[in-house]
DNA sequence: ACCTGAACACCGTTCAAGT
DNA sequence: ACCTGAACACCGTTCAAGT
């Protein structure tokens, strides 16, 4: 137990600040940021607030509601971030307008690495997700998209519209890239010749390894631009 | 407790079939398919096998190993499915070759709806995922891709290469599309004007609603083709 | 070698009781 | 109105003991 400045400590000295849904959810986000999403339990959340677990149930219905709530907090940050971004008007350049907002949204998720997993675990669509996509559609419409093509665009973009993707194939990012890669390739060379060739080539392209093995930001922007290209092409074709 | 034919019933009459890692994992997949992934607990899995929970630990290290194992079973099915698919040779037509395999892989995931969530929850990349992507790279290479562009392609495709996407914005698919949509739009019209316009248009395009509100298969193929288009364009440009 | 019962340290949640 | 302690029904997992 390392001493930290938590609400619990503060409350021991100050008169008790009453609990509220908002305070509960902000504490939940803080806890997930600090200790990981698996540490977000009702009991640990209560401790973070200097309160008993059962007190939480006066402000949130149950744990599912807490998870809906932390999604809400993160999406609230996203809405602020995309509002503040500097970008051309959608009427002038829909691509630049959308691209800038998506990359701004991405920044928020880089600060809450657990958030994609939580968002994808929700069974009902969060109203703020609808609000966000509503604005994406607005930008596409301003850019000359039909409702139909805008609909297709949402499906193509998927969570990438919010600035993140969940990849299944991630060449283990822990440790120094070069060492890891060398050891791994030795073992895998005969089983996975194409992957090994590909990764060897990627290392060669980036000999000093400062960008890491896969530069996520670069890959994200490459993929986003490829998709925006494809959408613009179909828009121009009037499909 | 509705009576079912489970291993437990069979074992009551037959001499005991010895447990094995393989039997444990196949039972886990069966349980997840029937009752959902949340029902896959060590205790319920043991019951499915007519055994005590603690017996499982002689065949799998822990629950994480069970989840790795069920991912392995599903990916095994994927490997078989893509092997059996009829498709042009990658040398002749990489796009058709890859497209057919991805759609075949997709079929497997349609039979295990919980599998995407499990795959995305794994912290270490499953070797069969690497094997699958190795074959994707082989197809791209046969189609004239540089290693570098093949690498980009994997990032653009992401889980779509395995035939699934996890969407955040899903206009609630329960109930009849028309009723749901009408009720929802009434409430949302002023808050989300663009989304509502888009969805109203989608309903209009498909008046008898037989395809459902969002035709997932159609949307998946549209998105896949857009991405394959973009990749081919960049390949031809020699980037 | 393989399986088991009891137990432990955790969960989310309910309930009756406190202030 | 808001918070609490004890309890319940679950988890995953350990351990010593059975066959």
- Helix (H), strand (E), coil (C) string for A48-111: HCCCCHHHHHHCCCCHHHHHHHHHHHHHHHHHHHHHHCCCCCCCCCHHHHHHHHHHHHHHHHHC
pLDDT band (50, 70, 90) for residue A5: very low
Q: Quick count: other Cβ atoms within 10 Å of Cβ A222? A: 19
Q: What is the pLDDT of residue B208?
A: 64
Best mutation site among A95, A138, A194, A221 for testing chain B: the one with the most B CBs within 10 Å?
A: A194
The single residue listed with the structure tokens 């995931």 is B109
- How do the domains of chain B map onto residue ranges? 17-60, 75-174+210-237
| Residues A238, A149: Cα–Cα separation, whole Å | 9
C14 C1' to A54 CA distance, Å: 10
Across B59-82, average pLDDT: 97
- Which residues from B are below 8 Å from A234, CB to CB? 226
Q: What is the pLDDT of residue B204?
A: 77
CATH class of B75-174+210-237: mainly alpha
- Which residues from B are below 8 Å from A152, CB to CB? 219, 222-223
Q: What is the pLDDT of residue B201?
A: 84
Q: Phi and psi at residue B224, in whole multiples of 5°?
A: -60, -45
Residues 6+ apart with CB under 8 A from B13: none
Weakest mean pLDDT among A34-38, A153-157, A215-219, B102-106? A215-219
- Positions 23-52 in B, CB within 7 angstroms of strand D: 40-44
B208 three-class SS? coil
- Please judge whether B141 and A194 are an interchain contact, meaning their C-beta atoms are less than 8 angstroms apart: yes
Q: What is the pLDDT of residue A84?
A: 96
Q: Which nucleotide is nearest to B50 (CA to C1')?
A: C3
Tens digit of pLDDT for each residue in A50-95?
999 999 999 999 999 999 999 999 999 999 999 999 999 999 999 9
CB A166 within 8 A of CB A159: yes
Q: Would you say the C-beta of A117 is within 7 Å of strand C?
A: no
Instruction: Report the candidate in A64, A76, A60, A71 with the shortest Cα–Cα distance to residue A24.
Output: A60
The DSSP 8-state label assigned to residue B180 in this structure reads: H
Q: What is the pLDDT of residue A42?
A: 96
In Å, how far are A184, A186, B146 from A191, measured between CA atoms? 11, 10, 20
CB A122 within 8 A of CB A68: yes
C6 C1' to B119 CA distance, Å: 35
Q: What is the pLDDT of residue A137?
A: 97
| Residues B153, B208: Cα–Cα separation, whole Å | 38
CATH topology of domain A17-60: Arc Repressor Mutant, subunit A (1.10.10)
Across A20-30, average pLDDT: 95
The percentage of chain B sitting over the pLDDT mark of 70, rounded to a whole number, equals 83
Across A177-196, average pLDDT: 73
Across B70-74, average pLDDT: 97
Q: Quick count: other Cβ atoms within 10 Å of Cβ A82? A: 23
> Comparing B203 with B199, which gets the higher pLDDT?
B199
Tens digit of pLDDT for each residue in B91-149?
999 999 999 999 999 999 999 999 999 999 998 899 999 999 999 999 999 999 999 99
Q: What is the pLDDT of residue A187?
A: 73
Instruction: Report the candidate in A102, A132, A135, A103 with the shortest Cα–Cα distance to residue A119.
Output: A132
CB B131 within 8 A of CB A168: no
Angle at the Cα of A123 from the Cα atoms of A73 and B225, rounded to 5 degrees:
100
Q: What is the pLDDT of residue A180?
A: 55
CB A232 within 8 A of CB A153: no
Q: Which nucleotide is nearest to A49 (CA to C1')?
A: D3
Instruction: Report the candidate in B88, B84, B78, B175 with the shortest Cα–Cα distance to residue B131.
Output: B78
pLDDT at B222 over 50: yes
Q: Phi and psi at residue B12, in whole multiples of 5°?
A: -65, -25
pLDDT band (50, 70, 90) for residue A12: very low
CB B232 within 8 A of CB B238: no
B61 three-class SS? coil
CB B166 within 8 A of CB B230: no
Tens digit of pLDDT for each residue in B14-53?
446 778 999 999 999 999 999 999 999 999 999 999 999 9
The single residue listed with the structure tokens 């009991």 is A43
pLDDT band (50, 70, 90) for residue B6: very low
Q: What is the pLDDT of residue B224?
A: 98
What is the separation of C-alpha A228 from the centre of its chain, rounded to a whole number of angstroms?
19
- Please judge whether B166 and A148 are an interchain contact, meaning their C-beta atoms are less than 8 angstroms apart: no
CB A11 within 8 A of CB A17: yes
CB A71 within 8 A of CB A124: no
Q: What is the pLDDT of residue B42?
A: 96
Q: Phi and psi at residue B136, in whole multiples of 5°?
A: -60, -45
pLDDT band (50, 70, 90) for residue B235: very high
A75-174+210-237 has the same fold as A17-60: no
Tens digit of pLDDT for each residue in A92-117?
999 999 999 999 999 999 999 999 99
| Residues B199, B194: Cα–Cα separation, whole Å | 9
CB A143 within 8 A of CB A153: no
> Comparing A235 with A190, which gets the higher pLDDT?
A235
pLDDT at B227 over 90: yes
- Residue B8 tokens read as 């437990």
CB B114 within 8 A of CB B127: no
- The end-to-end CA distance of chain B, in Å, is 61
- Residue A58 tokens read as 């006066």
């Amino acid at each position: 137990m390392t001493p930290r400045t938590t609400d619990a400590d503060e409350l021991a000295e100050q008169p008790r600040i009453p609990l509220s849904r908002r305070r509960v959810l902000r504490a939940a986000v803080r806890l997930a940021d600090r200790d990981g999403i698996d540490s977000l339990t009702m009991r640990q959340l209560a401790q973070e607030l200097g309160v008993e677990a059962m007190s939480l149930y006066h402000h949130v219905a149950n744990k599912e509601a807490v998870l809906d709530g932390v999604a809400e907090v993160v999406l609230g940050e996203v809405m602020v971030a995309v509002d503040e971004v500097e970008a051309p008007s959608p009427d002038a350049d829909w691509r630049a307008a959308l691209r800038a907002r998506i990359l701004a949204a991405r920044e928020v998720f880089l600060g809450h690495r657990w958030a994609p997993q939580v968002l994808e675990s929700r069974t009902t669509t969060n109203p703020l997700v609808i609000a966000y996509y509503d604005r994406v559609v607005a930008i596409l419409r301003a850019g000359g998209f039909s409702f139909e093509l805008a609909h297709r665009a949402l499906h193509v973009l998927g969570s990438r519209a919010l600035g993140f993707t969940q990849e299944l194939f991630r060449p283990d990012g822990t440790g120094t890239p070069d060492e890891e890669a060398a050891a791994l390739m030795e073992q895998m060379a005969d089983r996975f010749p194409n992957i090994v060739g590909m990764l060897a080539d990627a290392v060669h392209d980036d000999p000093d390894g400062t960008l890491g093995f896969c530069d996520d930001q670069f890959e994200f922007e490459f993929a986003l631009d490829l998709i925006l290209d494809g959408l613009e092409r179909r828009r121009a074709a009037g499909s």
